[in-house]
Amino acid sequence: MEQQANAAPARPTLLTVLCILTWVGSGIAIVMLFLAKAALSVVSSGAEAMGNLGAAMAESAGESGSAASAEMSKAMSEVDKVAANFGTYLIVGIICALLCIVGSVMMWKLKKTGFYVYVAGELGAPIAAIVLLGTGYAMEGGMMIASTFVLPILFVVLYGLNLKHMK
């Protein structure tokens, strides 16, 4: 009987699985941020050539080319905005991923404070994406919406269900 009283509380299986998934996901996020930075430098170097192509289209095609040129110009300004702010976003994204890792390690040790650290990391990344890269970047395509909003909300809710096991 005394032995049970001195034993550390058992970590729920769901919490164990969530922590492991968080470590894997945060590690992948850090790697993907660096890959995106490399890809963006390639895209940025091609952006100027695309801008010149848009101007040539407008001259040769008249009014319809002008509309296409305007669309291309708009797309290029989005690429320029992402390129200009991606270095800052890279730093913020890595900090947010590290906050998620630190928070999940704390929750692994059944410390309730880890939940709040984790939530700060999860909220910081999408907010930084919207502020620094624009709403178009954070809202493009179903997979981006899922990874930016749905999965983090799901994980926060699931971690929240385990708060009763933490001190």
Say what the pTM is: 0.77
Establish how many alpha carbons lie within 13 A of residue 6's alpha carbon, considering only the half-sphere containing its beta carbon: 3
What one-character DSSP code corresponds to residue 146? I
pLDDT of 97: 97
Contacts 24+ apart (CB under 8 A), 27-33: 27/97, 27/101, 29/93, 29/97, 29/125, 30/93, 30/94, 30/97, 33/90, 33/93, 33/94, 33/97
Q: Alpha helices of 62-112 — where are they, by DSSP H?
A: 63-108
pLDDT of 1: 47
CA–CA distances in Å: residue 37 to residues 10, 40, 41, 56, 88: 41, 5, 6, 29, 11
pLDDT of 50: 61
pLDDT of 43: 67
Tokens encoding 81 = 């905005």
Read off the pLDDT of residues 102-111 as tens digits, 9 standing for 90 and up. 999 999 999 9
CA–CA distances in Å: residue 108 to residues 15, 18, 28, 36, 98: 7, 9, 20, 30, 15
pLDDT of 51: 58
Based on C-alpha coordinates, what's the Rg of the chain?
Answer: 22
Count of residues in the chain? 167
* pLDDT one digit per residue (tens) for the chain, 167 residues: 455 556 677 999 999 999 999 999 999 999 998 898 888 777 666 656 665 665 665 566 555 556 666 666 776 677 677 778 888 989 999 999 999 999 999 999 999 999 999 999 999 988 888 888 776 665 665 566 667 788 999 999 999 999 999 99
Of 132, 128, 133, the residue nearest 99 (C-alpha): 128
pLDDT of 58: 58
Per the CB < 8 A criterion, the answer to whether 103 and 116 are in contact is yes
